[in-house]
Amino acid sequence: MSTKKATSALISVFHKDGLEPIVRKFQELGITIYSTGGTEKFIHELGVEVVPVEDVTSYPSILGGRVKTLHPKVFGGILNRQDNDSDIAQLEEFNIPQLDIVIVDLYPFEKTVASGASEQDIIEKIDIGGISLIRAAAKNYKDVLCVSSMEDYSEVLELISTGNGSTTLEDRKRFAAKSFNVSSHYDTAIFNYFNKNHDIAALKVSETKGKVLRYGENPHQKGFFFGDFEAMFNKLHGKELSYNNLLDVDAAVNLMEEFKNEAPTFAILKHNNACGLAQRNNLHQAYVDALAGDPVSAFGGVLISNKEIDKATAEEIHKLFCEVVIAPSYNAEALEILKGKKNRIILIQNEVVMPEMIVRTCLNGTLLQEKDHKTDTPEDLTTVTTLAPSADEIEDLIFASKLCKHTKSNTIVLAKNKQLCASGTGQTSRVDALNQAIHKAKSFNFDLEGAVMASDAFFPFPDCVEIANKNGISSVIQPGGSIKDQLSIDYCNENKVSMVMTGTRHFKH
């Protein structure tokens, strides 16, 4: 039969929150409860009758609790096929109780790793009995309901209450799928812990939280997001984020991480690239100067700040149509102003652990690489020209380099007084990227005299430094590494342009 009435249940859980109503419902329905260790004690203290698993197996919990339920009388009660006469006969022969419901969760392995616990503590949180019980019960979903997460307790309680102890085959199969989701994710976390240095060339990715997006990059494409967005952001206002919103938010967060503990900094992004960035003594001016970088592209963009957004800044932002605003916090007046546009997405960014690796599909497989965690610092700079950059120029060079790292290659970034003047993004030649940046800067009336130039990769020819010099650029930062580096160095020396090399390329594709 597809509908099956439960008469017995095994409960053995690490997390007891939310368990009491289920236990009391089982008592009300006359369902025999079997349990172990701390769960058995918990149920007993509720005043509910519970049968210790040791009474079934005639074997105590051993090895400090490492072995409790790993016994044929337990697994036989779960894995027997109720429509198989031989299985039923063996249950009777060996006095094995039928187990209709299994409620088991797993030791908190991921939380233990994240807490910075010792290796021994982490190893002890690798669940053996629990994972085995889940797999067995989920495998035998035709006869057994497997509940593997406390997040499902309310649904289980409703199912059991509505069905008076009965569940349908469809329900049991659905819970089996949930259980295999739990078990596979758990094993993935364990493997990735042991393979954190990637000595084994294998990729295992598991995300248990996900949502269906309105669509993908375009309306005719399906889109999904897998990850704990709510842990990273508090969404205070606005519509649901789209696929493209999420990509822009990701780019914004990665860029602003470079300026996390610095003076007030504001960035405006469009299609994953910054079209405005400025650092000032106050946030209001930082926003105004970031917007000046490209007030046209800023329309419909994603805005991010490294400081709390105040009323004055919010009033300026409110004049612009923007999709998303991100900040560590907002004062009350600022928040009310920004909420003035009903669809504007307002996010508070929380501190979370970010992935260390970048994953993307490629051909018929997957590419995996470490994130580019290298940020150029003054200590990384090697002055290769006779003329050295001034202290102010060095600050601008580092500012431009940070932005360059987060802009699509080929890219050239022009900056002055810690303000983005313009950037050339995603061009097939570095000369095209530079010409694009110069044209854009001049179209917004930037004076490039004394500005600096950053490049994500080396100059194979001196053409870029020549074009830059003729447009007022006074200092250059680039990784170097071309066999023709000297040609660019010679031009700079002849024309009194300072240039530093970092030794680090920052391609972004």
Which residue is catalytic, options 16, 25, 41, 139? 139
Residue 146 main-chain phi, psi, to 5 deg: -105, 125
Which long-range contacts does 314-319 make (Cβ < 8 Å, 24+ apart)? 314/338, 316/284, 316/287, 316/288, 316/291, 317/287
Q: Is the dihedral of CA 297, 302, 307, 310 positive or negative?
A: positive
Long-range residue pairs from 334-340, CB within 8 A, at least 24 positions apart, any chain: 334/309, 334/310, 335/236, 335/237, 337/311, 338/237, 338/309, 338/314, 339/236, 339/237
Task: Supply the DSSP string of 262-285, one letter for each residue.
Answer: SS-EEEEEETTEEEEEEE-SSHHH
Distance CA 255, CA 418 (A): 15
Q: What are the counts of helices (DSSP H) followed by strands (DSSP E) for the chain?
A: 19, 23
Per the annotation, the verdict on 506 as an active-site residue is: no
Check 142, 271, 341, 442 and give the catalytic one. Answer: 271
Contact partners, residue 384, CB within 8 Å, separation at least 6: 480, 485, 489, 499, 500, 501
Could you tell me how far CA 346 lies from the centroid of its own chain? 19
Would you call 318 a catalytic residue per the annotation?
no
Task: In whole angstroms, give the CA distance from residue 265 to residue 277.
Answer: 7
Give the residue numbers marked as catalytic. Answer: 139, 271
